[in-house]
Structure 1
Amino acid sequence: MRADLRVLHYSMATEKAYVRWIKRFMSHVGSTELEQFGQKDIESFLTKLAVEGQVATSTQTQARSALLFLYECILGVRIGFLNAVRVKRPETMPVWYSRQEIGYLLENLTGVHRIMFLLMYGSGLRHKECRRLRIKDVWFDEGRLLVRDGKGQKDRMTFLPKEVVPDLQRQIAWATQRHHQDLEEGYDKVYLPFALARKYPNAGREIGWRWVFPSRQRARDRRSGIVWRHHIAEQQFANALSTAQRAAGITKNGVPHSLRHSFATHLVEDGTDLPTVQKLMGHRDIETTMNYVHVDVGINSRVRSPADRLGGADQLE
């Protein structure tokens, strides 16, 4: 299953998750001989996740996808409609930051985390897209960023905020030093997706293919076994943002993706049309873009809270 996932270009995170679900399913049925189990057992497992585990909708969906991949793609067993208890998707409101809160957060971020913050908020990058940004895709002269292999394996162009340019240039200079150090010490490889490693065997020696935000230490890749310098880890910026929120006194439960919501919302507030925002964010459907825009929450400015009429407040108009 791991081999097929890699041939089909599934991410490392998806591979780990699918394997983890298969192991949990083995524990559920009490056997590793999964050929003898089928649709009813999958339904029982998914129902247990919903009823006893009380997992989120996305968690149950991921477990379902992993099992379907195993049975249909690996074992060659056709699975029909799964009659399992489904987790109801809650209608939650995502978190985004006001412009003032963006300023407060920026005051409490320094170094590489400040640069990443400005790119995610100022360019609409996803957290993963920011971490995986390569030096060759930063176009300073044009003021553009080329986002490669985004969600859905799509490329797109977005703008490069002028505010981040000086710090980003210094960051790339630091990354270049790490690159030369790696070459001197015999580490001339860099991760390339799909068949690019065969197409560009010497890419690791070229600075353009290196990460804008490289890790400070080299590590052995779990898939290839090659020792190289990967990009910055996921938790580094997430932890820095959480710390900045506490320091700024912001009680919202914001996450790195909240910056992408803020990017879309503030663009529309400034008068940018939705099709342009859609293009900058790399969405296929404009309905998806609208889920990121939180300008009008359905409260008319002329509608007032009854509490504001207490004590003669309605006489102030």
Structure 2
Amino acid sequence: MTLIEAVRATIRRLHYSPHTEEAIVHWIRQFIRFHSGKHPGQMGAEEVTTFLDELAIERRTAASTQNQALCALLFLYKRVLDLQIPRLEALERARRPEHLPSVLSRQETLTLLEHLVLPFRLIGELLYGSGLGLLEARSIRVKDVDLDRWQIMVRRGKAQHTRSALLPTRVRDELHAQLDSVARRHEKELAAGRGEVDLPHALRGKMPGAATSLAWQYLFPASRPSTDPATGRQVLYHVHESAVQRAVHDVGR
């Protein structure tokens, strides 16, 4: 097993999200590449500090990015390599600049939503009207939408808790249209010999047929399939957060 394979295996054993997995793997690869391919087991706090200095001084990355890189390396040394490096634990995290967030008024929010195109308008409506976070909205699957009770099940929220959220009445038509769009696309994908979606870790072995079922498809699928790092197969993920952020940014300019 290679180092990256060991990292992925540890992450999946801990049931971290695919998004977190890719972020951790990204920074570990960046760290190794920065030190000319040297194995992390032969390095320690000094090399980590040099790498973080490079991010802060030369690349001028944000404090949140520096902290994400540090957390990834702490995970590598503690969880994967099982190396206790006190000096690494004592590294001070970058401080984020303090500022008050800009909050839109109700009318400004409604105007912004009206100018978004589908499916981003529907995502925005769920964020605003149902109190969902962006990751929660992106992770909704068809089976999580309960049209009888007019609610949605949020199964991958904070701390992996499952909860229900009421759907805003104003999204009724758009929600039905989005469900129909997902169903039509899924039929075409199946006819072309594709149609698989990524599954939670425990279900890959228990319910392999779920990968091609409509119920497990994402309500907001990505525009094209990607390779599932767990299986090496082409699967359809949910829409990427950057696509949503870009749509909102373009409207807000």
Q: Same fold (TM over 0.5)?
A: yes
* Number of matched pairs: 246
Q: Which amino acid aligns with 1:158?
A: A
Tell me by how many angstroms 1:223 deviates.
Answer: 3.8
Tell me by how many angstroms 1:46 deviates.
Answer: 3.5
The answer to whether the Cα contact below 8 Å between 2:153 and 2:165 also exists between their aligned partners in 1 is: yes
Write the distance in 2 (CA, Å) between the matches of 1:135 and 1:3: 28
- Unmatched tracts of structure 1, length 5 or more: 247-317
1:163-220 CA deviation, whole Å, 9 max, x = no partner?
0011101110111112222233333532111111222222134322111122344444
Could you say if the C-alpha distance between residues 245 and 76 of structure 1 is closer, same or farther in structure 2, counting changes exceeding 3 Å? Answer: same
Q: 1:149 aligns with which of 156, 177, 187?
A: 156
Instruction: Please name the residue that 2:20 is paired with.
Output: 14
Instruction: Please name the residue that 1:280 is paired with.
Output: none
For residues 216-255 of structure 1, the aligned pairs below 5 Å read: 216-246=223-253
Task: Find out whether 1:70 has 2:83 as its counterpart.
Answer: no
Tell me by how many angstroms 1:158 deviates.
Answer: 1.1
Could you say if the C-alpha distance between residues 55 and 126 of structure 1 is closer, same or farther in structure 2, counting changes exceeding 3 Å? Answer: same
Tell me by how many angstroms 1:54 deviates.
Answer: 4.6
Write the distance in 1 (CA, Å) between the matches of 2:34 and 2:217: 43
Instruction: Please name the residue that 1:56 is paired with.
Output: 62
Greater relative CO, 1 or 2 (CA 8 Å, sep 6+): 1
Q: 2:182 aligns with which of 169, 175, 178?
A: 175
Instruction: Please name the residue that 2:3 is paired with.
Output: none
Helix, strand or coil at the partner of 1:224: coil
Helix, strand or coil at the partner of 1:78: coil
Tell me by how many angstroms 1:13 deviates.
Answer: 2.8
Instruction: Please name the residue that 1:134 is paired with.
Output: 141
Tell me by how many angstroms 1:28 deviates.
Answer: 4.5
Could you say if the C-alpha distance between residues 189 and 50 of structure 1 is closer, same or farther in structure 2, counting changes exceeding 3 Å? Answer: closer
Write the distance in 1 (CA, Å) between the matches of 2:189 and 2:59: 46
Write the distance in 1 (CA, Å) between the matches of 2:109 and 2:73: 41
Q: 1:79 aligns with which of 70, 75, 85?
A: 85
The answer to whether the Cα contact below 8 Å between 2:140 and 2:219 also exists between their aligned partners in 1 is: yes
Write the distance in 1 (CA, Å) between the matches of 2:211 and 2:33: 42
Q: Which amino acid aligns with 2:78?
A: E
Write the distance in 1 (CA, Å) between the matches of 2:198 and 2:31: 32
For residues 80-95 of structure 1, the aligned pairs below 5 Å read: 80-82=86-88, 83-84=90-91, 86-95=93-102
The answer to whether the Cα contact below 8 Å between 1:50 and 1:86 also exists between their aligned partners in 2 is: no
Task: Find out whether 1:46 has 2:55 as its counterpart.
Answer: no
Could you say if the C-alpha distance between residues 164 and 36 of structure 1 is closer, same or farther in structure 2, counting changes exceeding 3 Å? Answer: same
Task: Find out whether 1:158 has 2:165 as its counterpart.
Answer: yes
Write the distance in 2 (CA, Å) between the matches of 1:66 and 1:215: 26
Q: Which amino acid aligns with 1:238?
A: Q
The answer to whether the Cα contact below 8 Å between 1:220 and 1:226 also exists between their aligned partners in 2 is: yes
- Unmatched tracts of structure 2, length 5 or more: 1-6
TM-score (norm. length: structure 1): 0.69
> Percent of counterpart pairs with the same letter?
39
Could you say if the C-alpha distance between residues 58 and 225 of structure 1 is closer, same or farther in structure 2, counting changes exceeding 3 Å? Answer: same
The answer to whether the Cα contact below 8 Å between 1:47 and 1:84 also exists between their aligned partners in 2 is: no
Instruction: Please name the residue that 1:273 is paired with.
Output: none
Helix, strand or coil at the partner of 2:119: helix
Specify the structure having the higher radius of gyration (Cα): 1
The answer to whether the Cα contact below 8 Å between 2:195 and 2:236 also exists between their aligned partners in 1 is: no
Task: Find out whether 1:24 has 2:24 as its counterpart.
Answer: no
Q: 2:104 aligns with which of 87, 94, 97?
A: 97
The answer to whether the Cα contact below 8 Å between 1:218 and 1:228 also exists between their aligned partners in 2 is: yes
Task: Find out whether 1:3 has 2:12 as its counterpart.
Answer: no
The answer to whether the Cα contact below 8 Å between 2:151 and 2:165 also exists between their aligned partners in 1 is: yes
Write the distance in 2 (CA, Å) between the matches of 1:17 and 1:212: 24
Q: 2:123 aligns with which of 111, 116, 120?
A: 116
The answer to whether the Cα contact below 8 Å between 2:139 and 2:156 also exists between their aligned partners in 1 is: no
Tell me by how many angstroms 1:243 deviates.
Answer: 1.9
Q: Which amino acid aligns with 1:24?
A: Q
Instruction: Please name the residue that 1:189 is paired with.
Output: 196
